[in-house]
Amino acid sequence: MSLISGWGRYPKVDCNVVSARSQADVAQAVAAAPLIARGNGRAYGDAAMNPGQTLAMTGMDRMLSFDAGVLVAEAGVLLADIIHTFLPRGWFPMVTPGTKYVSLGGAIAADVHGKNHHIDGSFRACVDWVDVMGPDGAVTRAAPGDTLFDWTLGGMGLTGVILRAQIRLRPVETMYIAQETRALTSLSATLDAFDETRDAPYSVAWIDCSDGPHHGHSLLLLGRHATPSELPSGWNRFNVKRKRKLPVPFGAPPFVFRGLWLRALNGIYWRRGARRAGQALVDWDSYFYPLDALANWNRLYGRDGFVQFQCALPMETSATGLAALMDAIAAAQTGSVLSVLKRFGPQSGPFSFPMPGYTLALDFPASDRSLALMRQLDDITLAHGGRFYLAKDARMPEAVAKADPRAEAFAAMRKQSGLSDHFTSLQSERLGL
Ligand SMILES: Cc1cc2nc3c(=O)[nH]c(=O)nc-3n(C[C@H](O)[C@H](O)[C@H](O)COP(=O)(O)OP(=O)(O)OC[C@H]3O[C@@H](n4cnc5c(N)ncnc54)[C@H](O)[C@@H]3O)c2cc1C
Ligand 1 lined by 344 (C-beta under 6 Å): no
Ligand 1 lined by 78 (C-beta under 6 Å): no
Ligand 1 lined by 419 (C-beta under 6 Å): no
CATH 3.30.465.10 location in the chain: 58-172
Question: Which protein residue's CA is at the shortest distance from atom 53 of ligand 1?
Answer: 42
Q: Given a cut of 80, is residue 362 above it in pLDDT? A: yes
Among left, alpha and beta (phi > 0; psi -120 to 50; other), residue 260 is alpha
Ligand 1 lined by 156 (C-beta under 6 Å): yes
Distance CA 239, CA 120 (A): 26
CA of 392 to the centre of ligand 1 (A): 9
Ligand 1 lined by 43 (C-beta under 6 Å): yes
Nearest in space to 17 (alpha carbons), one of 59, 80, 69, 45: 59
Percent helix, strand, coil in the chain (nearest 5)?
Answer: 35, 25, 40
Across the range 364-391, mean pLDDT stands at: 96
Q: Which atom of ligand 1 is nearest to the CA of 37?
A: 47
Ligand 1 lined by 110 (C-beta under 6 Å): yes
Ligand 1 lined by 162 (C-beta under 6 Å): yes
Q: Using DSSP, how many helices (H) and how many strands (E) does the chain show? A: 14, 21
* β-pair partners for 203: 222
Give the DSSP letter of residue 243. P
- For residues 269 and 151, which has the higher predicted lDDT (pLDDT)? 151
21 three-state secondary structure: coil
Torsion of CA 376, 368, 292, 389, to 10 degrees: -40
* β-pair partners for 247: 295
Q: Which atom of ligand 1 is nearest to the CA of 115?
A: 8
* Vertex 87: Cα angle to 83 and 93 (nearest 5): 55
Residue pair 347/365 in contact (Cβ under 8 Å)? The answer is no
Ligand 1 lined by 47 (C-beta under 6 Å): yes
Q: Given a cut of 80, is residue 336 above it in pLDDT? A: no
Mutate to test the pocket of ligand 1, among 15, 49, 99, 115 (most ligand atoms within 8 A of CB): 99
CATH 3.30.70.2520 location in the chain: 176-402
pLDDT at residue 424, as a whole number: 98
Ligand 1 lined by 204 (C-beta under 6 Å): no
CA of 102 to the centre of ligand 1 (A): 6
Q: Kindly state the helix (H) or strand (E) to which residue 139 belongs, with its residue range.
A: strand 139-142
Ordered DSSP codes for 331-392: HHTB--S--EEEEE-S--STT-S--SEEEEEEEEESSHHHHHHHHHHHHHHHHTT-EE-GGG
Nearest in space to 156 (alpha carbons), one of 416, 415, 410: 410
Distances (CA, A) of 283 to 237, 239, 355: 10, 9, 29
Ligand 1 lined by 106 (C-beta under 6 Å): yes
CA of 217 to the centre of ligand 1 (A): 29
CA of 182 to the centre of ligand 1 (A): 30
Q: Which atom of ligand 1 is nearest to the CA of 162?
A: 42
Distance CA 172, CA 358 (A): 27
Q: 58-172: which CATH architecture?
A: 2-Layer Sandwich (3.30)
Ligand 1 lined by 112 (C-beta under 6 Å): yes
Nearest in space to 383 (alpha carbons), one of 315, 308, 321: 321
pLDDT tens readout for residues 342-354: 999 999 889 999 9
Instruction: Kindly report the average pLDDT of the chain as a whole number.
Output: 94
Q: Given a cut of 90, is residue 188 above it in pLDDT? A: yes
Residues 6+ away with beta carbon under 8 Å from 409: none
Sign of CA dihedral 296, 105, 287, 206: negative
Across the range 35-48, mean pLDDT stands at: 98
Distance CA 148, CA 160 (A): 10
pLDDT at residue 253, as a whole number: 62
pLDDT at residue 53, as a whole number: 98
Ligand 1 lined by 99 (C-beta under 6 Å): yes
Question: What pairing do the DSSP bridges indicate for beta strands 161-171 and 70-74?
Answer: antiparallel
Q: Which atom of ligand 1 is nearest to the CA of 123?
A: 11
Question: Which protein residue's CA is at the shortest distance from atom 36 of ligand 1?
Answer: 106
Judged on CB neighbours under 10 Å (0-12, 13-18, 19+), 247 is: exposed
* β-pair partners for 309: 362
Around 164, how many Cα atoms within 13 Å sit in the side-chain half-sphere?
A: 16
Q: Given a cut of 70, is residue 358 above it in pLDDT? A: yes
Residue 190: what are its φ and ψ, rounded to 5°? -70, -45
Ligand 1 lined by 391 (C-beta under 6 Å): yes
pLDDT at residue 257, as a whole number: 62
pLDDT tens readout for residues 256-297: 666 666 777 777 788 888 888 899 999 999 999 998 988 888
CA of 42 to the centre of ligand 1 (A): 5
Q: Which atom of ligand 1 is nearest to the CA of 109?
A: 34
Ligand 1 lined by 426 (C-beta under 6 Å): no
pLDDT at residue 255, as a whole number: 58
Ligand 1 lined by 187 (C-beta under 6 Å): no
Distance CA 168, CA 163 (A): 17
CA of 103 to the centre of ligand 1 (A): 7
Percent of the chain with pLDDT over 70: 96
Q: Given a cut of 70, is residue 16 above it in pLDDT? A: yes
Q: Which atom of ligand 1 is nearest to the CA of 43?
A: 19
Ligand 1 lined by 98 (C-beta under 6 Å): yes
CA of 107 to the centre of ligand 1 (A): 5
Query: 239-245 contacts: CB < 8 A, separation 24 or more?
Result: 239/175, 240/83, 240/84, 240/87, 240/88, 240/175, 240/284, 242/84, 243/285, 243/293, 245/292, 245/293, 245/294, 245/295
Q: Quote the pTM value.
A: 0.96
CATH number of 176-402: 3.30.70.2520
Distance CA 33, CA 31 (A): 6
Across the range 83-96, mean pLDDT stands at: 98
pLDDT at residue 75, as a whole number: 98
Judged on CB neighbours under 10 Å (0-12, 13-18, 19+), 369 is: middle
Ligand 1 lined by 157 (C-beta under 6 Å): yes
